[in-house]
Structure 1
Amino acid sequence: MTAHDVACLLPGIPVLRDLCRSVAVLEAILSPDWESRYHSFDVMWSPGEEMASMRNGSGDEYSIVFSAAGAYIRGFDHEAVMSPYMEDGPWPGVLDSVPGVFRHLVEEAAFCDEDGMPVVTACLWREARDEHWRVGEIEYPDGENDPDGAARLFGLLVDPSPEAFQRFAEDYYEISVDLDAVRHLYALRPLTSAVVTALNPDLTLGDLAEDLAAARYPSVAG
Structure 2
Amino acid sequence: MIEEFKNKLKNLALLDAILEQDWELRYYSYNSGWSPTEEMASLRDSCGGEWFFLISDDGIAFKCTSPEDGLAEDFESIKNKVPDRFKVFLEEPAFSMNEGSCIWYLENNNWVALGVDINDLPNPTKIQQMSASNYCVYASNILEQDIDSNLVQSILDGRFSFDLATKLNPDVDIDELKKDIQEIGISS
TM-score, scaled to structure 1: 0.77
Higher strand share: 2
Amino acid at match of 2:105: W
Distance 2:91 2:176 in 1: 36
Question: Of 85, 106, 109, which residue of structure 2 is paired with 1:131?
Answer: 109
Aligned length: 186
Distance 2:45 2:173 in 1: 26
CA contact (8 A) 1:77 1:149 kept: no
Distance 2:154 2:38 in 1: 26
- Cα drift, residue 96 of structure 1: 2.6
Distance 1:40 1:215 in 2: 8
Distance 1:91 1:124 in 2: 14
Distance 1:196 1:69 in 2: 34
Amino acid at match of 1:160: M
Question: Of 4, 7, 16, which residue of structure 2 is paired with 1:27?
Answer: 16
Distance 1:126 1:167 in 2: 28
**RMSD of aligned Cα (Å):** 1.9
- Cα drift, residue 135 of structure 1: 2.8
Aligned residue for 2:25? 36
- Cα drift, residue 109 of structure 1: 1.0
2:127 is paired with a residue of what secondary structure? helix
Distance 1:131 1:194, change over 3 A: closer
CA contact (8 A) 2:30 2:41 kept: yes
Aligned residue for 1:202? 171
- Cα drift, residue 107 of structure 1: 2.3
Give the percent of matched residue pairs that are identical in Structure 1 and Structure 2: 28
Aligned residue for 1:174? 144
- Cα drift, residue 97 of structure 1: 1.6
Q: How does 1:66-215 map to 2 (within 5 A)?
A: 66-81=55-70, 83-84=71-72, 87=73, 89-90=74-75, 92=77, 94-112=78-96, 118-127=98-107, 130-136=108-114, 148=116, 150-154=118-122, 156-189=126-159, 191-215=160-184
Distance 1:178 1:119 in 2: 38
Amino acid at match of 2:118: A
1:182 is paired with a residue of what secondary structure? helix
CA contact (8 A) 2:69 2:120 kept: no
The gaps in structure 1 that reach 5 residues or longer are 1-11, 139-147
The structure 1 segments of at least 4 consecutive aligned residues displaced by more than 4 Å after TM superposition are none
1:174 is paired with a residue of what secondary structure? coil
Aligned residue for 1:141? none
Distance 1:55 1:175 in 2: 18
CA contact (8 A) 2:68 2:120 kept: no
Give the number of the structure whose alpha-carbon radius of gyration is greater: 1
- Cα drift, residue 26 of structure 1: 0.3
Q: Deviations over 1:163-183 (max 9, x none)?
A: 111111111111211212101
- Cα drift, residue 80 of structure 1: 2.9
Q: Deviations over 1:135-172 (max 9, x none)?
A: 34x6xxxxxxxxx2512222551432111111111111
Q: Deviations over 1:20-48 (max 9, x none)?
A: 00000000000001111001000111231
Q: Deviations over 1:106-153 (max 9, x none)?
A: 1221122xxxx52321111125xx2322234x6xxxxxxxxx251222
